[in-house]
Amino acid sequence: MQPASAPVDRATDLASSVLLTMKQLGVVALPRNYEIFYEALSGSNHELSLEVVGLGKRPAQDELDRIGRKFFGSHAGNAVVEHARETVARELEEIASILRKERNHVEKFGRVLDQTAEGLSGRLVSKDLLQKIVEVMSVATSSTIDHGRQVANVLSDKSNELESVKSKLEEYKRLANTDPLTQMWNRRAFDREIADIYNSNRGILFKALILADIDRFKEINDRFGHPVGDKVLQSIADIFRSSIRADMFVARTGGEEFALIVDGASEEATFEIADRIRLLIEQTPFLNPKTKASYGSVTISMGICMASEAESPEDLYSRCDRALYRSKVSGRNRVTRFSTLSERVGKSWMLYSKD
């Protein structure tokens, strides 16, 4: 946490630290490498952090790829997207080929009709000739209908295959934005969601941010071990989910940090939401599932800030973080509103207009 007297946007600091660390270690600035070092430096995955430290001062790319496969196997975005691209391109080419053949078949049938019409024009037709013409037209029509059915079936199969590709891409998107431990949204998803607030006046006027940080979480890990710490994180994530509306956005943004974006609520209502969650966590017994031994009381500190109190997503996060810091230094296990801080600067957001 940063002191209120020297506020720093921790998201920007972390991103800068990641890039600087990669540069110092001679790591190529690939997206998959950035993801590994982001997780390692944020402290959200202790085992991954230990493995990255164990690589030494000049980690080889194959070693980083091994870590990537181990911890982000379900997030193999480049492979998933590339495979999907190839599949879609192949399927579309096959569909185009089928449609070209179908067009040729229909054009051939059209020529048969034209030739028949020309042959019948202005002349008397005998019964035998008329019967032969009917037989030819019947065969041509039946063939065209059968071919059309076959094309429809093939296109249906292709549609199902493309739908399967779409589903896989949607699943990848979900996994790429999900924290694997708590199954909440992750920092990546949060960064996009908070940015969306400032895309419209309504978002600014009717949204608020709640930042939460588990009190003395390091002591829990040091005393009971990281597996217990993980269980605590999962339990707190469950409390968040069960305490809010299903359409509210809640994310795990760091090791023991959570963020909740509240829509359509006043500052007072936002405070009540935060304080209700805080109280539920304080009252929840955290027990060993086997021995039922208590891990002791777990509490959480929170800060809230209305979007109308800030200039931008970064400013909103920074101001809310200062309110959270005030909760920490004031004794923990409490909720602080940014609007109550002495450094708050007023602003008339009714005059806001998006560039």
pLDDT bucket at 36, cuts 50 / 70 / 90 = confident
pLDDT in tens, 16-32: 777 788 888 888 766 67
Indicate the domain borders of the chain.
10-75, 78-176, 187-351
How confident is the model at residue 100, as a pLDDT? Answer: 72
Least reliable range by pLDDT among 122-131, 195-204, 214-223: 122-131
* Higher per-residue confidence, 50 vs 173: 50
350 vs 336: CA distance, rounded Å: 25
Residues in the chain, overall count: 355
Cα radius of gyration rounded to whole Å, the chain: 31
For 187-351, the fitting CATH number among 3.30.70.270, 3.30.428.10, 3.20.20.70, 3.90.1200.10 is: 3.30.70.270
Rounded Cα distance between 336 and 325, Å, is 9
The average pLDDT across 50-77 equals 79
Say whether pLDDT at 79 is over 60: no
Q: What sections of the chain are H helices per DSSP?
A: 10-24, 31-42, 46-53, 61-71, 77-120, 127-176, 187-197, 201-206, 217-224, 226-243, 267-283, 313-329
302, two tokens: 């929170």
- Give the model's confidence band at 235: pLDDT under 50 very low, under 70 low, under 90 confident, else very high: very high
Closest by CA position to 220, among listed 117, 297, 306: 297
DSSP one-letter code for 341:
S
CA-to-CA distance for 229 and 220, rounded, in angstroms? 6
215-224, long-range: CB < 8 A, 24+ apart: 215/298, 215/299, 215/300, 215/301, 215/328, 215/332, 215/333, 216/332, 217/255, 217/256, 220/295, 220/298, 221/46, 224/295
**What local confidence, expressed as pLDDT, does residue 343 receive?**
64
Question: Who wins on pLDDT, 51 or 175?
Answer: 51
> Tens digits of per-residue pLDDT, 265-283?
999 999 999 999 999 999 9
Task: Give the 3-state secondary structure of residue 208.
Answer: strand
Asked if pLDDT for residue 10 goes beyond 70, the answer is: no
- pLDDT exceeds 50 at position 353: no
**Spacing of C-alpha 228 from chain mean position:** 27
Locus of tokens 């190529």: 28
Query: pLDDT, tens digit, for every residue of 81-131?
Result: 556 666 666 777 777 777 777 777 666 766 666 666 666 565 555 556 556
The values of phi and psi at residue 45, to 5°, are -140, 95
The string over 154-190, giving b where at least 16 C-beta atoms fall within 10 Å of a residue's C-beta and e elsewhere, is eeeeeeeebeebeeebeebeebbbbbbbbebbbbbbb
For the beta carbon of residue 134, count every other beta carbon within 10 angstroms: 11
In this structure, of 9-13, 145-149, 202-206, 235-239, the range with the lowest mean pLDDT score is 9-13
Q: Tell me which of 186 and 176 has the higher pLDDT.
A: 186
108 vs 48, residue with greater confidence = 48
| Residue of 281, 243, 280, 279 whose CA lies nearest to 262 | 243
Instruction: Tell which wins on pLDDT, 187 or 108.
Output: 187
